[in-house]
Amino acid sequence: MSLKLHWPRTLASRLSLIFLVGLILAQALSFGAQYYERYQSARSTMLNNLQNDVSTSIAILDRLPAEERPAWLTRLARANYNYLLSDGEPGAPLDAGEVPVAVTSISTAIGDAYPLNFTRFHEEKKHFQGHLRLSDGSPVTIDVRPAMPPLSPWLPGVLLGQLTLLIACTWLAVRIAIRPLARLANAVETLDPNAHPVMLDEQGPTEVAYAARAFNAMQARIAAYLKERMQLLAAISHDLQTPITRMKLRAEFMDDSVEKDKLCNDLGEMEHLVREGVAYARSIHGSTEESRRTDVDSFLDSLVFDYQDMGKDVQLSGKSAAVIDTRPQALRRVLVNLTDNALKFAGAAQLQVDTDDGLCIKILDRGPGIAEAELQQVIQPFYRVENSRNRSTGGTGLGLAIAQQLAMALGGSLTLSNREGGGLCAELKLPLR
């Protein structure tokens, strides 16, 4: 079973991983170099002390009377070696290729004054003994157990503190590097040419300021391009109304015939399409209407009563008790388009309002509904579903597109879904604030 490593998906995790691995490796190399230098220094000091201490200790033992020597053994003993007044333990001679450094220091310290030989113990590789005889022939054994100098007890705490500092600095650096990118990604995701543009802050490092300026310029160009196209559509649609009106007037002077009726119907359809085109072009600038404080319940009651006065089957259920800042004409146009759509294809419409998750207004009908694959396409301009919702019913393919544009201009969203049991649900969500 092979372990497969996966590269992190987010930029923050990748930068954090690179920084942490690099800093930890650098810290490990630095610690290794310092530890090696400390080891070399400690070993050199220890060997020098060993050489001086052994020469002094042997000289003291040689000059002391035999009966006083045992009392001095504890005084002369050290952490890594001590002295025995005996031939020591039996061992094997030292190998020529594995002579410890301490052996050389002891040999140098003793010199030629006392015959010296060394033995080692295979079960303890670093344990060896040096055997010699004093001037009176008494045996002395130098029992050596070399050991590495221990680490200072505070060193692990310092290393842990350094690692914590590295992690904190890495987190801060990644956050500083990622924050402008996240802000730019959020601005791109929420970019809405129909609404008032939100300019990015152009302060900060050079690269961040440059990216913010580029985004702001792009946002301005998109808004200008869209405005130009909408003005072109509005101008064409507006200019078409004059010749259509003249054609309708001329048709009125024609003799009554089937052809006259067809021509009048075609002109009426063209006039309706032109008006919808002008309305769509203007809906893109729905944000230019002045925002007002609006009581939602009173607003919806007024809308429903207007339909009922015209004999339309429109009902309202639910209360919101909400007062919001909105553009009432744009909101009314959205609801009228959706309600007319429901009346056209179902003959009845029901409005539901609640405030569980912001302000939510649903327009429900029991019409034929829309195929799931086309729910997202019907809000596109001039798109018509190829069934009962076609041009023969008077649709231009702009009603839902206008509602969608105005909903976005109001800071909300419009979604369509099919109801269980048949029919369509148009859900308009608006912020309560």
pLDDT bracket for residue 239 (50, 70, 90): confident
**Tens of pLDDT along 275-284?**
766 666 666 5
Reference 340, options 359, 316, 314; nearest CA is 314
**Tens of pLDDT along 67-76?**
888 888 888 8
Rounded to two decimals, what is the model's pTM? 0.47
Cα–Cα–Cα angle for 267, 272, 277, rounded to 5 degrees: 125
**pLDDT recorded at residue 388:** 45
Right CATH number for 202-284 from 3.40.50.2300, 2.60.40.10, 1.10.287.130, 3.90.1150.10?
1.10.287.130
Run of H or E residues at 110: helix 101-110
Q: Do domains 202-284 and 290-430 have the same CATH topology?
A: no
184-to-14, 122, 149, 178, 201 alpha-carbon distances in Å: 19, 70, 56, 10, 10
**Tens of pLDDT along 104-126?**
788 888 877 788 888 887 666 67
Neighbours of 126 (CB within 10 A): 14
**pLDDT recorded at residue 33:** 83
Distance CA(397)–CA(389), nearest Å, equals 9
**Tens of pLDDT along 362-391?**
999 988 888 888 887 777 766 666 544 444
**Tens of pLDDT along 304-354?**
999 999 999 999 988 888 888 888 888 888 899 899 888 988 889 999 998
Residue 308, strand partner residues: none
Right CATH number for 290-430 from 1.10.10.60, 3.30.565.10, 2.120.10.30, 3.90.660.10?
3.30.565.10
Give the tokens for residue 292.
């007002």
Reference 30, options 171, 149, 158; nearest CA is 158
Number of H-type helices and E-type strands within the chain: 9, 12
For the chain, the domains span 11-144, 202-284, 290-430
Which CATH architecture is the domain 11-144 placed in?
2-Layer Sandwich (3.30)
